[in-house]
Chain A
Amino acid sequence: MAVTAVPGMVGGRQPLPWMRKLEDERWLAFTLLLPTAILLGLFIAYPFVEGIFLALSDARVGDPGHFVGLKNFAKLWDDSIFWTSVWNTFWYTAVTTVFKLALGLWLAMLLNRHFRGKAIVRAFILLPFIIPTVLSTFAWKWMFDPTFSVINWTLFNLGFIKARINWLGDPSLAMTSIIVVNIWRGVPFFAISLLAGLQTISPELNEAAAIDGARPWARFWLITWPLLLPVTMVVMLFSVIQTFADFQLVYVMTGGGPANATHLFATYAYQIGIGTGLLSQGAAVSLAMFPFLFLIVVIQLLYIRRVEVR
Chain B
Amino acid sequence: MAEVTLTKLNKYFDTTHVVKDVDLQIRDKEFMVFVGPSGCGKTTTLRMIAGLEAVSSGDIRIENTVVNQVPPMDRDIAMVFQNYALYPHMSVASNMAFGLKMRKFPRDQIQDRIKRAAAILGIENLLGRKPRQLSGGQRQRVALGRAIVRDPKVFLFDEPLSNLDAKLRVQMRVELKKLHERLAVTSIYVTHDQVEAMTLGDRVVVMRDGVVQQVGEPLELYNRPANRFVAGFIGSPAMNFADVTISDQGGKVVAEATGLKIVLPGELAARARTHMNGAGTRATLGIRPEDIHVAGAADSPDHCLEAEVEVVEQLGSEILLDTRVGQALVVASIDPNVRVRTHDKLKLALNPERLHLFDPETEKAF
Chain A positions near chain B (C-beta within 8 angstroms): 202, 204-205, 207-215, 218, 222-223, 226-227, 310
Contacts and interface: CB of A to CB of B under 8 A. Distances in A.
* SS of A interface (majority): helix
Contact of B102 (A202, A205, A212): A212
B214 interface: no
Contacts of A227: 88-89
Given A210-B52, A212-B150, A213-B99, A202 B83 contact: yes
Nearest to A226: B89
What size tier do the contact residues of chain B reach?
20 to 34
Nearest to B88: A227
Interface in B115-161: 130, 146, 150
Given A204-B85, A210-B52, A222-B98, 13 more contacts: A204-B83, A205-B88, A209-B87, A209-B102, A211-B50, A211-B73, A211-B78, A211-B79, A212-B73, A212-B99, A213-B99, A213-B102, A214-B73
B96 to A, nearest CB: 10
B71 interface: yes
A208 B160 CA distance: 14
Interface in B78-99: 78-79, 81-83, 85, 87-89, 98-99
A227 B90 CA distance: 10
A200 B89 CA distance: 14
Nearest to A215: B73
Contacts of B87: 205, 208-209, 223
Contacts of B72: 207, 210-211
A161 B325 CA distance: 93
22 contacts: A204-B83, A204-B85, A205-B85, A205-B88, A207-B52, A207-B72, A207-B79, A207-B85, A208-B87, A208-B146, A209-B87, A210-B51, A210-B52, A210-B71, A211-B50, A211-B79, A212-B73, A212-B102, A212-B146, A214-B73, A215-B73, A227-B88
Nearest to B99: A212
Interface of B: 50-52, 71-73, 77-79, 81-83, 85, 87-89, 98-99, 102-103, 130, 146, 150
Nearest to A219: B102
B81 A212 contact: no
Contacts of A222: 98
Contact of B81 (A204, A215, A218, A226): A204
A202 B84 CA distance: 11
Nearest to B104: A213
Q: Which of the listed residues A204, A227, A310 has the most CB atoms from chain B within 10 Å of its own CB?
A: A204
A226 to B, nearest CB: 5
Contacts of A213: 73, 99, 102-103
Contacts of B77: 211
Contacts of A209: 87, 98, 102
Contacts of B89: 226-227, 310
A204 B86 CA distance: 9
Contacts of A202: 83, 85
A223 B98 CA distance: 11
Given A204-B85, A226-B89, A227-B89, A212 B98 contact: yes
B73 A208 contact: no
A213 B79 CA distance: 12
Contacts of A210: 51-52, 71-73
A212 B99 CA distance: 4
Contacts of A215: 73
Nearest to B152: A211
B79 A208 contact: yes
Contacts of B82: 204
B284 to A, nearest CB: 41
B81 A207 contact: yes
A218 B102 contact: yes
Task: Please give me the 5 A-B residue pairs with the lowest Cβ-Cβ distance, nearest first.
Answer: A212-B99, A213-B102, A204-B85, A208-B85, A213-B73
Contacts of A214: 73, 98, 102
Nearest to A205: B85
Contacts of B102: 209, 212-214, 218
Nearest to A223: B87
A225 to B, nearest CB: 10
A218 B98 CA distance: 11
B129 to A, nearest CB: 13
A50 B102 CA distance: 59
A211 B53 CA distance: 12
Nearest to A208: B85
Contacts of A223: 87
A307 to B, nearest CB: 9
B113 to A, nearest CB: 13
B195 to A, nearest CB: 25
Contacts of A207: 50, 52, 72, 79, 81, 85
A21 B273 CA distance: 89
A207 B89 CA distance: 16
A205 B88 CA distance: 9
A212 B51 CA distance: 12
B56 to A, nearest CB: 17
Q: Which of B77, B79, B89 gathers most chain A CB within 10 Å?
A: B89
Nearest to A229: B89
A218 B52 CA distance: 17
A221 to B, nearest CB: 12
A86 to B, nearest CB: 37
Contacts of B103: 213
A172 to B, nearest CB: 42
Nearest to A227: B89
Contacts of A211: 50-52, 72-73, 77-79, 99
A109 B220 CA distance: 49
B188 to A, nearest CB: 13
Contacts of B73: 210-215
Contacts of B51: 210-211
B152 to A, nearest CB: 9
